[in-house]
């Protein structure tokens, strides 16, 4: 997306070279999941808010900083709740990073497993050709093992090149949100 188009969607501060993601809230609690009754610092963010923040982060080129502006009514200003809310949002982004990294590690482990299984199946197909004397059974077992091996190896490549890359991309954007500045603005 070009800068002109981006500036129509998001406010841009020339001085800090940052784009603002503006969010209007009725109360501090609105940023968090209505199903989670944990304290502010450990609560899950509202799914719609998280989706909006992530899609905004995807749209804004990474060369720019992000400022998350939370707009609330002037009468509810509370510095202590602001700090706890800010801390809770950062904690949630860090939690999502840990979660994605654990998922990525599991996928790495799975790709190694698929590669090993595929290799073993290829080796077994060659062994089956020499051990089985019946031509039909030999072809059936050997070809079945070769097809199974290629499926395993394809799954390894699919996870490696598509799913792991997608998770790494998410991690970069969660990290970006963790380093963003969260500002509370109060309006009449």
Instruction: List, for residues 145-180, the tens digit of each pLDDT value.
Output: 999 999 999 999 999 999 999 999 999 999 999 999
Percent of the chain with pLDDT over 70: 96
How confident is the model at residue 74, as a pLDDT? 87
The pair of three-digit structure tokens given for residue 180, joined into one six-digit string = 């963003």
Structure-token match 């097809």, residue found = 147
Helix (H, G, I), strand (E, B) or coil at 22: strand
Q: Alpha-carbon distance 89 to 67, whole Å?
A: 13
pTM, entire model: 0.82
pLDDT value at position 38? 66
Q: What dihedral do alpha carbons 105, 108, 109, 111 form, nearest 10°?
A: 160
How far from 147 is each of 103, 119, 123, 126, CA to CA, in Å?
A: 28, 12, 12, 13
pLDDT digits (tens, 9 = 90+) for 113-137: 999 999 999 999 989 888 888 888 8
């Amino acid at each position: 997306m070009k800068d002109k188009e981006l500036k129509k969607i998001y406010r841009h501060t020339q001085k800090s070279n940052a784009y603002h993601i503006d969010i209007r809230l009725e109360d501090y609690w609105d940023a968090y999941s209505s199903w989670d009754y944990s304290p502010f610092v450990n609560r899950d963010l509202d799914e719609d808010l998280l989706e909006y923040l992530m899609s905004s982060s995807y749209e804004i080129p990474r060369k720019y900083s992000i400022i998350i502006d939370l707009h609330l009514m002037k009468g509810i200003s509370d510095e202590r709740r602001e700090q706890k809310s800010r801390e809770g949002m950062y904690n949630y982004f860090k939690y999502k990073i840990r979660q994605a990294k654990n998922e990525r590690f599991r996928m790495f482990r799975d790709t190694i497993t698929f590669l090993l299984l595929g290799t073993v199946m290829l080796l077994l197909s060659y062994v089956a050709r020499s051990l089985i004397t019946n031509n039909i059974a030999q072809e059936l077992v050997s070809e079945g093992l070769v097809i199974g091996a290629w499926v395993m190896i394809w799954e390894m490549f699919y996870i490696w090149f598509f799913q792991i890359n997608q998770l790494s991309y998410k991690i970069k954007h969660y990290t970006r949100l963790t380093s963003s500045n969260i500002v509370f603005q109060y309006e009449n």
